[in-house]
């Protein structure tokens, strides 16, 4: 078993961060501005806190079961049949969210970088690249996450800091002026953007140092919350809440509008736009791997190379299903709440609470 434990603290941290931060960050300031105006950043921090709780439950579940793989935990807890159903639903959620994300990503790319490249071609290239990485198993995946974390966040944070130049910090005012109902709705929709931390189920069994996991998990959630809050604040500073409401993808428009004084290149945002490829790609690959792993176990396929190959066409079809960008967001708004409640609350809690019963039966 020892050679299987190869993921370090940084590996876990970067895996969770890059899986969570994906295409959601493009439109996130817009949905926050729509629902709570200037209070988006407070909502983000609260939502981050709620998601950390859910993540801690995941940790407890894995810890109680002695760090065995996720599917075995489910089989031990809820039995064979039910675990198959749960695993299928979870993987349906992952496939759904990465497909919708894929479509949004493609639309953004087509809008800003590759105007005439066919949607189908962008999808195929992304899926094949993802497939190649998934075939490299968990070790390759974690290594990839570790590297991309640095490539993604260092430039983006530098760019965002430049963006503060044109902004006015007082646009973040006033604070806490909405009805409690609005906050509740906003917190719920804010948690959607945190989807992806369930990857912890996959990674935790491979951890080297078991003691420091809890702290690393919390750190990663804090990092994500701060990053999201920063994006929301900078968008508000730059565009004010009235204009942020109008923009489909405020974060991208923001990057395009940033002017670096005295820079020797003008209109350099093409470079930054390519960074977004990584933002989506890491989310995609991690979720893809996890759902591949689940499908492999459910149907006893024995190898993730086969199961991921089976999933690839499904992703392609679901991503192409919506007719236009409006339909993409409509479908996503309809289905996401159900999936989120299922995977954030239902699955972790059921695994945590039912555990005792099952063990007693086994003892008998």
Partner 1 sequence: MRLKKTIPIVLCGLLLSGCWDKVEIDRKIFISIIGIDLGKDATNDKDIKKIKPNEPFQERISNKKLSIIYGFPDISALGPGNTGASQDKYLSVDALSMEDGIVKATGKSSRILHLGQTKLIILNSGILEQPETFKEILDYLERHPNLNKMMQVVVTEEKIEKLVKYKPIMEKSIENYLSGLVESSNRNATILPITLNEIIIHLDQNGNAIIPKISIDKEKDDIILSGIAIVKAYKLKGYLTPIEVADLEIMRGKIKGGNKVIYKDGHPIEINIEDINRKLKMVGDKNKLQFNINARLEGQLREFYKGKEVLSKTELNTIENNFSESISKECEIIAKMMQKEFEVDELGLRDYVEKYKPSLWKEIEDNWEEVYKNADINVNVEVKIRRIGVIK
Report in angstroms how near the CB of residue 176 gets to partner 1 at its nearest: 9
For residues 156 and 21, the answer to whether their CB atoms sit within 8 Å is no
Report in angstroms how near the CB of residue 115 gets to partner 1 at its nearest: 6
| Closest C-alpha among 103, 64, 69 to residue 87 | 69
The reply on whether position 115 binds partner 1 by CB under 8 A is yes
Q: What are phi and psi of 207, to 5 degrees?
A: -75, 145
The reply on whether position 325 binds partner 1 by CB under 8 A is no
Nearer of residues 43 and 74 to partner 1, judged by Cβ: 43
The reply on whether position 139 binds partner 1 by CB under 8 A is no
> What does the alpha-carbon distance between residue 106 and residue 149 come to, in Å, rounded to a whole number?
21
Nearer of residues 7 and 131 to partner 1, judged by Cβ: 131
| Closest C-alpha among 88, 85, 126 to residue 307 | 88
CA distance from start to end of the chain: 29
The reply on whether position 242 binds partner 1 by CB under 8 A is yes
Report in angstroms how near the CB of residue 22 gets to partner 1 at its nearest: 20
> What does the alpha-carbon distance between residue 269 and residue 265 come to, in Å, rounded to a whole number?
10
Q: Position of tokens 């701060």?
A: 226
Provide the 3-class DSSP secondary structure of residue 299.
coil
Report in angstroms how near the CB of residue 242 gets to partner 1 at its nearest: 5
The reply on whether position 120 binds partner 1 by CB under 8 A is no
Report in angstroms how near the CB of residue 134 gets to partner 1 at its nearest: 20
> What does the alpha-carbon distance between residue 294 and residue 261 come to, in Å, rounded to a whole number?
50
Nearer of residues 63 and 274 to partner 1, judged by Cβ: 274
β-sheet bridge partners, residue 7: 207
> What does the alpha-carbon distance between residue 175 and residue 180 come to, in Å, rounded to a whole number?
13
The reply on whether position 111 binds partner 1 by CB under 8 A is yes
Which residues, numbered 255-274, are part of the site for partner 1 (CB under 8 A)?
Answer: 256-257, 259, 266-267
Question: 301 is written with which tokens?
Answer: 């396929």
Stretch binding partner 1 (CB under 8 A), from 8-16, 116-124, 329-337, 343-351: 116-124
Report in angstroms how near the CB of residue 187 gets to partner 1 at its nearest: 20
> Residue count at the site for partner 1 (CB under 8 A)?
27
Binding mask 201-240 for partner 1 (x = CB under 8 A): --------------------------------------xx
Q: Position of tokens 């695994």?
A: 351
| Closest C-alpha among 285, 284, 169, 183 to residue 235 | 169
When binding is defined by CB under 8 A, the residue of 2, 80, 170, 262 that contacts partner 1 is: 170
Stretch binding partner 1 (CB under 8 A), from 2-10, 171-179, 195-203, 343-351: 171-179
The reply on whether position 34 binds partner 1 by CB under 8 A is no
Q: Position of tokens 């020797």?
A: 264
Report in angstroms how near the CB of residue 252 gets to partner 1 at its nearest: 8
The reply on whether position 180 binds partner 1 by CB under 8 A is no
Which class for 208: exposed (0-12), middle (13-18), buried (19 or more C-beta within 10 A)?
middle
**Measured CA angle at 117 (ends 111, 121), to 5 deg:** 115
**Residues forming the site for partner 1 (CB under 8 A):** 111-118, 121, 166, 170-171, 173-174, 177, 239-240, 242-243, 245-246, 253, 256-257, 259, 266-267
């Amino acid at each position: 078993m020892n050679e299987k434990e190869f993921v370090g603290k940084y590996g876990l941290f970067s895996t969770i961060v890059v899986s969570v931060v994906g295409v959601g960050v493009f439109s996130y300031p817009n949905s926050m501005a729509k629902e709570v105006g200037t209070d988006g950043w407070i909502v983000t921090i609260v939502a981050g806190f709620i998601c950390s709780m859910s993540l801690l439950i995941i940790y407890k579940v894995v810890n109680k079961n002695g760090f065995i793989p996720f599917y075995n935990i489910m089989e031990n807890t809820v039995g064979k049949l039910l675990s198959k159903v749960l695993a299928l639903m979870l993987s349906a959620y992952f496939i759904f969210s990465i497909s919708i994300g894929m479509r949004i990503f493609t639309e953004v790319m087509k809008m800003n970088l590759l105007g005439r490249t066919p949607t189908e071609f962008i999808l195929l290239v992304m899926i094949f690249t993802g497939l190649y990485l998934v075939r490299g198993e968990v070790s390759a995946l974690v290594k990839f996450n570790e590297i991309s974390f640095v490539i993604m966040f260092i430039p983006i944070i530098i760019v965002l800091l430049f963006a503060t130049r044109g902004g006015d910090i007082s646009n973040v005012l006033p604070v806490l002026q909405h009805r409690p109902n609005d906050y509740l709705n906003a917190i719920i929709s804010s948690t959607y953007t945190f989807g992806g931390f369930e990857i912890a189920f996959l990674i935790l069994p491979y951890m080297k140092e078991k003691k420091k996991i809890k702290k690393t998990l919390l750190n990663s959630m804090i990092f994500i919350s701060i990053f999201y809050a920063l994006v929301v604040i900078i968008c508000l500073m730059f565009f004010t809440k009235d204009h942020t409401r109008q923009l489909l993808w405020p974060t991208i428009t923001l990057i395009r509008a940033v002017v670096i004084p005295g820079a020797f290149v003008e209109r350099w945002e093409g470079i930054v736009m390519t960074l977004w490829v990584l933002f989506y790609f890491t989310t995609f690959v991690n979720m893809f791997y996890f759902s591949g792993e689940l499908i492999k176990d459910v149907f006893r396929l024995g190898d993730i190379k086969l199961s991921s190959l089976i999933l690839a066409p499904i992703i392609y079809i679901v991503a192409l299903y919506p007719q236009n960008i409006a339909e993409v967001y409509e479908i996503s708004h309809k289905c996401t709440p159900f999936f989120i409640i299922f995977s954030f609350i239902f699955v972790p809690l059921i695994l945590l609470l039912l555990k005792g019963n099952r063990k007693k039966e086994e003892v008998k």
